[in-house]
Amino acid sequence: MRTGVWLVGARGSVATTSVIGALALRAGLTAPTGCVTELPELRGPALPGLADLVFGGHDVVATPLTKRAEALAAAGVLPGRLADAVAPELADVEAALRPAPTEGTPADRIAAVVDDLTTFRRRHGLDRVVVVNVAATEPAPAPHPAHHDLPALRDALAGPVDVLPPSSRYAYAAFTAGCPYVDFTPSTGARLPALAALADEHGLPYAGHDGKTGETLLKSVLAPMFAMRHLAVRSWSGTNLLGGGDGATLAEPAANAAKVGSKQRVLAETLGYLPQGSTRIDYVEELGDFKTAWDLVTFAGFLGTGMRMEFTWHGCDSALAAPLVLDLARLTAAAHAAGRRGPLTELAFFFKDPLGATGHALGDQWAVLRDFVAGLHGGAPR
Amino acid sequence: MRTGVWLVGARGSVATTSVIGALALRAGLTAPTGCVTELPELRGPALPGLADLVFGGHDVVATPLTKRAEALAAAGVLPGRLADAVAPELADVEAALRPAPTEGTPADRIAAVVDDLTTFRRRHGLDRVVVVNVAATEPAPAPHPAHHDLPALRDALAGPVDVLPPSSRYAYAAFTAGCPYVDFTPSTGARLPALAALADEHGLPYAGHDGKTGETLLKSVLAPMFAMRHLAVRSWSGTNLLGGGDGATLAEPAANAAKVGSKQRVLAETLGYLPQGSTRIDYVEELGDFKTAWDLVTFAGFLGTGMRMEFTWHGCDSALAAPLVLDLARLTAAAHAAGRRGPLTELAFFFKDPLGATGHALGDQWAVLRDFVAGLHGGAPR
Amino acid sequence: MRTGVWLVGARGSVATTSVIGALALRAGLTAPTGCVTELPELRGPALPGLADLVFGGHDVVATPLTKRAEALAAAGVLPGRLADAVAPELADVEAALRPAPTEGTPADRIAAVVDDLTTFRRRHGLDRVVVVNVAATEPAPAPHPAHHDLPALRDALAGPVDVLPPSSRYAYAAFTAGCPYVDFTPSTGARLPALAALADEHGLPYAGHDGKTGETLLKSVLAPMFAMRHLAVRSWSGTNLLGGGDGATLAEPAANAAKVGSKQRVLAETLGYLPQGSTRIDYVEELGDFKTAWDLVTFAGFLGTGMRMEFTWHGCDSALAAPLVLDLARLTAAAHAAGRRGPLTELAFFFKDPLGATGHALGDQWAVLRDFVAGLHGGAPR
Amino acid sequence: MRTGVWLVGARGSVATTSVIGALALRAGLTAPTGCVTELPELRGPALPGLADLVFGGHDVVATPLTKRAEALAAAGVLPGRLADAVAPELADVEAALRPAPTEGTPADRIAAVVDDLTTFRRRHGLDRVVVVNVAATEPAPAPHPAHHDLPALRDALAGPVDVLPPSSRYAYAAFTAGCPYVDFTPSTGARLPALAALADEHGLPYAGHDGKTGETLLKSVLAPMFAMRHLAVRSWSGTNLLGGGDGATLAEPAANAAKVGSKQRVLAETLGYLPQGSTRIDYVEELGDFKTAWDLVTFAGFLGTGMRMEFTWHGCDSALAAPLVLDLARLTAAAHAAGRRGPLTELAFFFKDPLGATGHALGDQWAVLRDFVAGLHGGAPR
């Protein structure tokens, strides 16, 4: 099952780490640490093998992958000489990357993406291509009536004004080209009724939003712990310090608001009430690809006794996100092959703000994922 | 269903907080924060109501409950005037407490406990009495052949030498008196083949060991998180600073060893390998009933990238343990009423070192508990 | 040397804690923990004794001191029955409090304050009265030409428009009444050229700004440590979570900006460069009178090796500020008695944003303070 | 002023980092971050320049410096290609290293060291050689009468039994060869009356003990802060997790005891009382050359209100220690050139457990150091 993985934001840190990591795994140069689909509980015949993945993608910048890889190695994200060890394969991926189209009406740019996708699929003889958005976080777009109506959206796109943010244009193009779409960012992506209708028209599955890689991952196990123990969380305050490209983007108030919203949702939905406190994102360039999150939780136990916990998470976003990008591409491809269409709510395990209403507790999400994958593998749900 | 709760270590901080808390809940003076059996998912007719609980117990010290309550209020564990508000009911409990027997052979002391238990049951017209050990942690006893053979144990107990530690004598007495037994401490309790045989002879259930209230509770959600995400935990080091009576006890190397052992087990069993690092317990008198745990976890993600998390847990052991003591008494009583015998492995949710082999992941333990309680309530497992 | 201490914001948490603490110290009910002037290095004959202090003050609210004391006791700031133990003396202070004047032109309100101050001094036969501002933090006022020119300011105050914020009106009134003035807050207070001229006209000393009680106190020892060791601080990010009245005030963006500015200055001035990162203040009501600050410092050592430190400070603002208020009143009174006039730069030890240019390193500030006090005591500087 | 720096433990991480760092500084490849003697306050003509330092040393192992450098680069301590950039100069140092003598009586081995030192001095035309001990920490030796009496020590050394630990044999050899001696470790070194007599006989200065690079450095600014603010420290508990060679050594109980003792001294001596709590050292191999220390400080403010601070220090021991080794060599050489003899108490700034009784507050130590260096430079003390 030859599977294309088309990365939107293909020259960024996450995409570059995904690509080099997949090449290194294929070459037996590294272990699949961080790859959920390589766990014994999920591994199996329905998923495309790592050797079956073919990478391509769009980006608005032109930095060569080797250059980005050097920066990632200097920052401690990639082992020093890993990119060299997979240089020929990396050159093939470089050749498959395309500049993001910038000319003409929105419809023209979408058509150009559709063309790139179909050419990529045909040239590499792929069974299917999964489009994965790993580009920088966008601000939420202004509401527009065409977001709710596919014919109206078609009309609007032919005009000169952009009613869709880039992530949604890519979703539109993916569906038009017959490709499943995954949004790893908090951007709008396929989250518009008109795009859901388009996916439905083409019988395609899609997944999102916002990969759960750090503070929210911890919230999704700690908040259920407090709930299961009937402890009353009084406040939950979080500070996220991050450098890297995403840090600079998220320092923009509009993008920040989008991100922070999806970060707090897990608390209200898991606990059944919203504790005091808020989540902050601050840009500290010097932290590079690493991120430090600090959270303070104050809570009451029996007879109202006040207690507290703090945690510090010092993670490398690219190293946490990249293997999940591979997981999502493989799982979405397998779902597509199995005839699934519409939102893949069973993939909530991977997301801060998952499509559908499946709850945010990681343990529950894991059980749902395990059953889903078992179904794909043709076995009875365990 | 009038249910006796017989507390071994009845004048200690945990027991006193349990008793006053239950009285305050019954009087509508506080909310059931921390009481797992008061969650909507578990509440139901099969469990004895809080108003049905009658408290008694043994202790080696004679400090009045009101005196202990004052100390707990000064330490911020109990609200200032709560003990006053339930003074008459507390006096009834005081009247039901008995000094721990200290005279004669082990068999004589066991007989005295049996006598106290049957008198308590008869005098208060109780359907059953659950014995809960909340006394100070003991060192592990020297191995003895009689531990493995009930007739040999009977013979040995009639002699002058103590082959059983106190927690096990209480388990022996409980079973002899027809009472289920719960061990909330890491002590030996019912964990000897000869005592399992005795429980079986009397058709009684039992539960343990070592209430999961702090650092290990966190491990039981964080370790599964690392496992589910296929992240490789390289080291996990823990420091526990605790004051209070238990702190002084645990500073003794032998008791410390018992406790630390049950604290590390969760990692090896959840991750499938034992990371580097160890867990320390240190006594810092000034922390009083509060405990501060600090853990450092170093782990590797994709391509071996090193990351780390730390947490600090500042909890009040009595306020965390006391509601669980009530939960365990109610659940064990309901299991007994339903005819259950042998180890209650479904209560693993509550313990650091649970009886049976049910895994340490809190989410899984919760699912098992929920199904078990649903069964008790007569509904189909959810 | 009978010394009046006139508190602006006299019914707030800091003022109430100062007053009750002074009364309790005088009665021998507590130890002078936190009182710098009770250290052997500073104690001596030139400072008014605690028994010589007489309290009065203004407030815009009318909550009785006993009521505030109850709230502080419930929050764990005051020992339970301390206010009761000094009830008669506290009633005397209550009787000496005056409502903040609200009628008429700014000049009228200033005149009313002058009248209150002179009446207080006369009625209690005081040698002098030190006015200390412990009211809520104000936003920075709009610049006005009259701030730079005393005659122009006099004219402006007679008009209907308020060209001075309240803290500066109190400074104006204090100087007019012949009283030294201390600003414990980051508000404007005496920090205007026209007010400096007024103080000079009356030959009065003044001190400020912004009591150094938590995160900045730590910065003032840690930043010099990095500097003395020639370590290069790359980023210093701080989060302050605080409840209480001050928390709500500081959540206002304007007040927040004033406070954050004085918090970062210490870094730039001590290190000689401004590291990346910023300081945040967030309001979390549930934290009450306690404050949690978390700081992350990343730094480079030899050959550029990256390292990091974090700290969490969990302090009670009132308990940290109140003894310093007493210290400042005593020191300022002694300076006035010794004929000092103008800004008391030797008191930089107490302030986040000290008057004058004496550096922010706590150790240096301490040496200056010690010499200053030795001078007051008439001994040679040690 | 050509100055030899003879490193005992010359192939270890600290020594290798010192040597490569000095060569890189000399070549203009790096900035003098972490070098205290390169601060404007201390720089000056009396100190030998970095270009004047010539390195040699002993070690019990034979790992080439280039090999050690590779390991340090892999661990993130040295920039990737720094060792290559100074390869010729590093080869010269390699050629100047000698195996630690292991044959014969203690006196024979000392004589061999003396011979190595004098040969090194002569061959390189050095004005003087400073011996610096950076070998692994030793257990404290058994007391012996000869430690107190130089003639008795001379006799004992001629016998077959080792009455001196290695660090003291090196001190003996250094003094005999006319070389000043610095102990950067907590080992015994020159801290024996008989060795003080020997240094005196030769008119030599010496310095130590135990470089202050992490947790204790923080204690030496935080403990004075609590003292200056009259805050009562109730407990101070520390956990040190360290990998690397030193971690394994310090996990040995005897070495651990030596280290922990010097770590707690700063508290008792600075605060005037010893708070509760203790300091732990644990070996966690995976941390490599990095060390994580976590400290919890509980303290009381005004009216006994309980508060707390925590800090985590994540430092690279080699990167912190190496520049101080260069500082100490330069300062001790200058002191020797200036005719100083006996213990250099003015260098307390650098040590956890400084010779002499100069106090542990970093700010005070800094002032003493600054004056001392000003004196060396021939200026009046500033």
Q: What is the pLDDT of residues D209-251, one digit of tens each?
A: 999 998 999 999 999 999 999 999 999 999 999 987 666 776 6
Distance separating alpha carbons of residues A253 and B10, to the nearest angstrom = 57
Q: Give D294's pLDDT tier (boundaries 50, 70, 90).
A: very high
Q: Give D259's pLDDT tier (boundaries 50, 70, 90).
A: low
pLDDT one-digit tens code per residue, B98-129: 999 999 999 999 999 999 999 999 999 999 99
- Segment C312-319 shows an average pLDDT of 95
Q: Are C227 and C368 in contact (CB under 8 A)?
A: no
φ, ψ for residue B84 (rounded to 5)? Answer: -60, -40
Distance separating alpha carbons of residues B275 and B287, to the nearest angstrom = 29
Q: What SS3 class is residue C296?
A: strand
Percent of chain A with pLDDT over 70: 94
Who's near B59: CB < 8 A, 6+ residues apart? Answer: B8, B9, B10, B11, B12, B15, B97, B99, B100, B135
- The domains of chain B are located at 3-210+319-376, 215-316
- Segment B254-275 shows an average pLDDT of 79
Could you confirm whether domain C3-210+319-376 is CATH 3.40.50.720?
yes
- Determine contact: D167 vs chain B, CB below 8 A: no
pLDDT surpasses 80 at A357:
no
Q: Report which listed range, C70-74, C76-80, D176-180, D361-365, is most confident.
A: D176-180
**Fold type of domain A215-316:** Dihydrodipicolinate Reductase; domain 2 (3.30.360)
Chains touching chain C, criterion 3+ CB pairs below 8 Å: A, B, D
CB contact under 8 A, D309 and C312: yes
The pLDDT assigned to C265 comes to 79
The pLDDT assigned to A322 comes to 97
Whose CA is closest to C50, among C21, C76, C77, C89?
C21
The pLDDT assigned to B380 comes to 39
The pLDDT assigned to C258 comes to 63
- Determine contact: C306 vs chain B, CB below 8 A: no
The pLDDT assigned to D76 comes to 87
Residues of D in contact with A312 (CB under 8 A): 312
Q: Give D356's pLDDT tier (boundaries 50, 70, 90).
A: confident
Q: What SS3 class is residue D19?
A: helix
φ, ψ for residue D174 (rounded to 5)? Answer: -60, -50
Lowest-confidence region among A17-31, B255-269, D282-296 = B255-269
CB contact under 8 A, C234 and A286: yes
CB contact under 8 A, B17 and A303: yes
Lowest-confidence region among B260-264, B315-319, C165-169, C359-363 = B260-264
Number of A/D CB contacts below 8 angstroms equals 3
Assigned token pair, D316: 């690279």
- Segment B255-278 shows an average pLDDT of 81
Of the candidates A17, A224, A312, which has its C-beta nearest B363's C-beta?
A: A224
Assigned token pair, D287: 């941390």
Of the candidates A33, A290, A363, which has its C-beta nearest B232's C-beta?
A: A33
pLDDT surpasses 60 at C158:
yes
pLDDT one-digit tens code per residue, B18-54: 999 999 999 999 999 999 999 999 999 999 999 999 9
The pLDDT assigned to D258 comes to 63
CB contact under 8 A, D239 and B235: no
Residues of A in contact with D80 (CB under 8 A): 80
Q: Does the CA dihedral C4-C8-C10-C16 come out positive or negative?
A: negative
Q: What SS3 class is residue A250?
A: helix
The pLDDT assigned to C315 comes to 96
State which residue of chain C sits closest to B314, comparing Cα positions: C314
Q: Say whether the peptide bond before residue D209 is cis (omega within 30 degrees of 0).
A: yes
CB contact under 8 A, A239 and C235: no
- Determine contact: D74 vs chain B, CB below 8 A: no
Q: What SS3 class is residue C133?
A: strand
Strand D53-59 relative to strand D97-99, pairing? parallel
Distance separating alpha carbons of residues B2 and B121, to the nearest angstrom = 10
Q: Which residues 187-226 in chain A show a CB within 8 A of chain C?
A: none
Of the candidates A237, A284, A286, which has its C-beta nearest C241's C-beta?
A: A237
Whose CA is closest to D244, among D64, D37, D57, D71?
D71
Lowest-confidence region among A236-245, C154-163, D179-188 = A236-245
The distance of B324 to chain D (nearest Cα, Å) reads: 28
Q: Are A185 and A209 in contact (CB under 8 A)?
A: yes
Distance separating alpha carbons of residues B273 and B265, to the nearest angstrom = 10
pLDDT surpasses 70 at A113:
yes
pLDDT surpasses 70 at D42:
yes
Determine the residue type at C32: P
The overall average pLDDT reported for chain B is 93
The pLDDT assigned to C80 comes to 80
- Determine contact: C312 vs chain B, CB below 8 A: yes
Could you confirm whether domain D215-315 is CATH 3.30.360.10?
yes
Residues of A in contact with C278 (CB under 8 A): 282
Q: Give D378's pLDDT tier (boundaries 50, 70, 90).
A: confident
C131 DSSP 8-state letter: E
The pLDDT assigned to C381 comes to 39
Q: Is the ipTM of this complex over 0.85?
A: yes
φ, ψ for residue A11 (rounded to 5)? Answer: -105, 10
Who's near C114: CB < 8 A, 6+ residues apart? Answer: C173, C176, C177
Whose CA is closest to B143, among B192, B109, B110, B178?
B192
CB contact under 8 A, C294 and A234: no
State which residue of chain B sits closest to C314, comparing Cα positions: B314
Percent of chain D with pLDDT over 70: 94
- Segment D126-153 shows an average pLDDT of 95
Q: What is the pTM (predicted TM-score) of this model?
A: 0.94
The pLDDT assigned to A382 comes to 36
pLDDT one-digit tens code per residue, D242-251: 987 666 776 6
The overall average pLDDT reported for chain D is 93
Lowest-confidence region among A172-176, B78-82, B225-229, B325-329 = B78-82
The distance of A115 to chain B (nearest Cα, Å) reads: 33
CB contact under 8 A, A287 and C235: yes
Q: Are C21 and D300 in contact (CB under 8 A)?
A: no
The pLDDT assigned to D379 comes to 55
Q: Say whether the peptide bond before residue D336 is cis (omega within 30 degrees of 0).
A: no
The pLDDT assigned to A247 comes to 66
The pLDDT assigned to D255 comes to 65
Distance separating alpha carbons of residues C340 and C204, to the nearest angstrom = 7
pLDDT surpasses 70 at C254:
no
Q: Does the CA dihedral D26-D31-D37-D38 come out positive or negative?
A: positive
- Segment B53-60 shows an average pLDDT of 98
Q: Which residues 221-240 in chain D show a CB within 8 A of chain B?
A: 234-235, 237, 239
Distance separating alpha carbons of residues A289 and A246, to the nearest angstrom = 9
Chains touching chain D, criterion 3+ CB pairs below 8 Å: A, B, C
pLDDT one-digit tens code per residue, A218-227: 999 999 999 9
pLDDT surpasses 80 at A262:
no
CB contact under 8 A, D80 and A76: no
CB contact under 8 A, A237 and C237: no
Residues of C in contact with D310 (CB under 8 A): 311-312
Of the candidates D24, D309, D362, which has its C-beta nearest C314's C-beta?
A: D309
pLDDT surpasses 90 at B182:
yes
pLDDT surpasses 80 at C249:
no
The pLDDT assigned to B41 comes to 95
pLDDT surpasses 70 at A337:
yes
pLDDT surpasses 90 at A306:
yes
Residues of D in contact with B310 (CB under 8 A): 294, 312
The pLDDT assigned to B73 comes to 92
pLDDT surpasses 80 at A129:
yes
- For the packed helices B362-376 and A362-376, what is the interaxial angle rounded to 10 degrees? 90
- Determine contact: C286 vs chain A, CB below 8 A: yes
Q: Which residues of B352-364 are buried (b: 16+ CB within 10 A; e: fewer)?
A: bbbbeebbbbbbb
Site from A279, A282, A299, A313 to mutate, C interface, most C CB atoms within 10 angstroms: A282
Q: Give A246's pLDDT tier (boundaries 50, 70, 90).
A: low
Distance separating alpha carbons of residues A334 and A372, to the nearest angstrom = 11
Q: Give D382's pLDDT tier (boundaries 50, 70, 90).
A: very low
- Determine contact: B314 vs chain A, CB below 8 A: yes
The overall average pLDDT reported for chain A is 93
Number of B/D CB contacts below 8 angstroms equals 57
Distance separating alpha carbons of residues B219 and B230, to the nearest angstrom = 16
- Segment B298-307 shows an average pLDDT of 96
The pLDDT assigned to C1 comes to 82
Strand extents, DSSP E, chain C? 3-8, 53-59, 97-99, 128-133, 181-183, 205-208, 232-242, 279-283, 290-300, 306-316, 342-343
pLDDT surpasses 70 at A174:
yes
The pLDDT assigned to C133 comes to 98
Percent of chain B with pLDDT over 90: 86
- Segment A318-326 shows an average pLDDT of 97
The pLDDT assigned to B262 comes to 65
Who's near B295: CB < 8 A, 6+ residues apart? Answer: B215, B218, B219, B236, B237, B238, B239, B310, B311
The pLDDT assigned to C255 comes to 65
Q: Are D119 and D95 in contact (CB under 8 A)?
A: no
Lowest-confidence region among A238-252, B67-81, C323-337, D305-319 = A238-252
CB contact under 8 A, A237 and C239: yes
Distance separating alpha carbons of residues C36 and C39, to the nearest angstrom = 6
Residues in a beta bridge with D56: D6
pLDDT surpasses 60 at B382:
no
The overall average pLDDT reported for chain C is 93
Residues of B in contact with A228 (CB under 8 A): 36, 39, 349, 362-363, 366
Residues in a beta bridge with B206: B181, B343
- Segment A82-102 shows an average pLDDT of 96
Site from B260, B279, B284, B308 to mutate, D interface, most D CB atoms within 10 angstroms: B284
